[in-house]
A and B are shown apart, each in its own frame.
Chain A
Amino acid sequence: MSDHSPAAVLGNEPAPQAFSAADITVEELEAGSSLWSDAWQRLRKNRLAIISLVIFVAVCLFCVIGPFLSPYNAESQDLLAGATAPSAAHPFGTDPLGRDLMVRVMEGGRISLLVGLIATLVSLMIGVVYGATAGYLGGKVDAAMMRFVDLLYALPFTIFVILLMVAFGRSLWLIFVAIGCVEWLSMARIVRSGVIGLKKQEFIEAAVSLGYSHSRIILRHLIPNVMGPVIVVATLTVPAVMLLEAFLSFLGLGVQPPNASWGVLINEGQQNMEILPWLLIFPAFFFALTLFCLNFLGDGLRDALDPKSAKD
Chain B
Amino acid sequence: MAKFVILRLIQGIFVLLAIYAVTFFLVAATPGSPFSSERAIRPEILAQIEAFYGYDKPVGERFLTSLNNVLRGEFGPSAVYANRTVTEIIAGSFPVSLKLGSISLLVALLLGVPAGILAAVKKNTWLDYLPMSTAMAGICLPTFVMGPLLALVFGLILQLLPVAGWFGPEFVILPAATLGLYYAAYFARLTRGGMLEMLNQDFVRTARAKGVPEATIVWKHCLKGGLIPAITFLGPALAGIISGSFVVETIFQVPGLGQWFVRGALNRDDFLILGLTILFAALIVIMNLIVDILQVMLNPRLKYE
A and B found bound together: yes
Compute how far the CA of A292 lies from the CA of B137 in the bound complex, rounded to whole angstroms: 7
Residue A280 interfacial (CB < 8 Å): yes
Contact code string B263-291 (vs A, CB < 8 Å = 1, else 0): 01110100001001100110011000000
Stretch at the interface among A7-15, A53-61, A154-162, A216-224: A154-162
Most chain A beta carbons < 10 A, residue from B152, B239, B265: B265
Compute how far the CA of A291 lies from the CA of B141 in the bound complex, rounded to whole angstroms: 9
Task: Kindly provide the distance from the CB of A13 to the nearest chain B CB, expressed in whole angstroms.
Answer: 23
Asked if B142 and A243 make an inter-chain contact with CB atoms under 8 angstroms apart, the answer reads: yes
Residue B206 interfacial (CB < 8 Å): no
Residue A164 interfacial (CB < 8 Å): yes
If the complex has contacts A292-B140, A295-B136, are A156 and B276 also in contact, measured as CB distance less than 8 A? Answer: yes
Q: Which of B19, B152, B156 contacts A154 (CB 8 A)?
A: B19
Compute how far the CA of A163 lies from the CA of B270 in the bound complex, rounded to whole angstroms: 10
Most chain B beta carbons < 10 A, residue from A158, A263, A267: A158
Q: Which of B137, B148, B244, B284 contacts A270 (CB 8 A)?
A: B148
Compute how far the CA of A166 lies from the CA of B142 in the bound complex, rounded to whole angstroms: 23
A148-180 with Cβ < 8 A to chain B: 150-156, 158-160, 162-164, 166-168
A5-43 with Cβ < 8 A to chain B: none
Stretch at the interface among A77-85, A132-140, A196-204, A246-254: A246-254
Contact code string B125-155 (vs A, CB < 8 Å = 1, else 0): 0000000000011011110110011001000
Task: Kindly provide the distance from the CB of B153 to the nearest chain A CB, expressed in whole angstroms.
Answer: 11
If the complex has contacts A163-B27, A291-B140, are A266 and B145 also in contact, measured as CB distance less than 8 A? Answer: yes
Asked if A154 and B281 make an inter-chain contact with CB atoms under 8 angstroms apart, the answer reads: yes
**Which chain A residue lies CB-closest to B145?**
A284
Chain A residues positioned under 8 Å from B148 (CB to CB) = 270, 273, 280
Most chain B beta carbons < 10 A, residue from A152, A239, A247, A289: A247
Asked if B247 and A159 make an inter-chain contact with CB atoms under 8 angstroms apart, the answer reads: no
Asked if A251 and B268 make an inter-chain contact with CB atoms under 8 angstroms apart, the answer reads: no
Asked if B19 and A151 make an inter-chain contact with CB atoms under 8 angstroms apart, the answer reads: yes
Asked if B261 and A158 make an inter-chain contact with CB atoms under 8 angstroms apart, the answer reads: yes
Chain A residues positioned under 8 Å from B26 (CB to CB) = 160, 163
Compute how far the CA of A163 lies from the CA of B281 in the bound complex, rounded to whole angstroms: 18
Task: Kindly provide the distance from the CB of B157 to the nearest chain A CB, expressed in whole angstroms.
Answer: 9
If the complex has contacts A158-B244, A162-B262, A166-B268, are A151 and B22 also in contact, measured as CB distance less than 8 A? Answer: yes
Residue A296 interfacial (CB < 8 Å): yes
Task: Kindly provide the distance from the CB of B277 to the nearest chain A CB, expressed in whole angstroms.
Answer: 6
Compute how far the CA of A284 lies from the CA of B243 in the bound complex, rounded to whole angstroms: 23
In terms of DSSP, what is the predominant structure of the interface of chain A?
helix
Asked if B262 and A267 make an inter-chain contact with CB atoms under 8 angstroms apart, the answer reads: no
Asked if A159 and B265 make an inter-chain contact with CB atoms under 8 angstroms apart, the answer reads: yes
Asked if B266 and A166 make an inter-chain contact with CB atoms under 8 angstroms apart, the answer reads: yes
Q: Which of A155, A168, A267 contacts B144 (CB 8 A)?
A: A267
Asked if B268 and A159 make an inter-chain contact with CB atoms under 8 angstroms apart, the answer reads: no
If the complex has contacts A151-B19, A156-B276, A162-B265, are A280 and B140 also in contact, measured as CB distance less than 8 A? Answer: no
If the complex has contacts A156-B276, A246-B142, A295-B140, are A273 and B22 also in contact, measured as CB distance less than 8 A? Answer: no
Task: Kindly provide the distance from the CB of A296 to the nearest chain B CB, expressed in whole angstroms.
Answer: 7
Residue A310 interfacial (CB < 8 Å): no
Residue B23 interfacial (CB < 8 Å): yes
Total number of B residues with any Cβ neighbor in A under 8 Å: 40
Asked if B142 and A266 make an inter-chain contact with CB atoms under 8 angstroms apart, the answer reads: yes
Task: Kindly provide the distance from the CB of B265 to the nearest chain A CB, expressed in whole angstroms.
Answer: 4
Asked if B144 and A164 make an inter-chain contact with CB atoms under 8 angstroms apart, the answer reads: no
Residue B15 interfacial (CB < 8 Å): yes
Task: Kindly provide the distance from the CB of A173 to the nearest chain B CB, expressed in whole angstroms.
Answer: 17
Most chain B beta carbons < 10 A, residue from A274, A284, A287: A284
Q: Which of B27, B139, B142, B239 contacts A247 (CB 8 A)?
A: B142
Residue B30 interfacial (CB < 8 Å): yes
Compute how far the CA of A263 lies from the CA of B144 in the bound complex, rounded to whole angstroms: 10
If the complex has contacts A156-B243, A160-B26, are A291 and B265 also in contact, measured as CB distance less than 8 A? Answer: no
If the complex has contacts A151-B15, A166-B32, A166-B268, are A159 and B277 also in contact, measured as CB distance less than 8 A? Answer: yes
Residue A288 interfacial (CB < 8 Å): yes
Asked if A163 and B243 make an inter-chain contact with CB atoms under 8 angstroms apart, the answer reads: no
**Which chain B residue lies CB-closest to A243?**
B142
Chain B residues positioned under 8 Å from A288 (CB to CB) = 137, 140-141, 145
Asked if A159 and B15 make an inter-chain contact with CB atoms under 8 angstroms apart, the answer reads: no
Asked if B22 and A155 make an inter-chain contact with CB atoms under 8 angstroms apart, the answer reads: yes
Task: Kindly provide the distance from the CB of A153 to the nearest chain B CB, expressed in whole angstroms.
Answer: 7
Asked if A156 and B247 make an inter-chain contact with CB atoms under 8 angstroms apart, the answer reads: no
Most chain B beta carbons < 10 A, residue from A152, A159, A160, A295: A159
If the complex has contacts A163-B27, A247-B247, are A156 and B277 also in contact, measured as CB distance less than 8 A? Answer: yes
- CB within 8 Å of A: which residues of B? 15, 18-19, 22-23, 26-27, 30-32, 136-137, 139-142, 144-145, 148-149, 152, 156, 239, 243-244, 246-247, 261-262, 264-266, 268, 273, 276-277, 280-281, 284-285
Given contacts A150-B15, A167-B268, 13 further A-B contacts (CB under 8 A): A151-B19, A151-B22, A156-B243, A159-B277, A164-B30, A166-B32, A247-B142, A270-B145, A270-B148, A274-B152, A280-B145, A284-B145, A292-B140
- CB within 8 Å of B: which residues of A? 150-156, 158-160, 162-164, 166-168, 239, 243, 246-247, 250-251, 263, 266-267, 270, 273-274, 280, 284, 287-289, 291-292, 295-296
Q: Which 5 pairs across A and B sit closest by C-beta, in order of nearness?
A: A162-B265, A291-B140, A288-B140, A154-B281, A156-B280
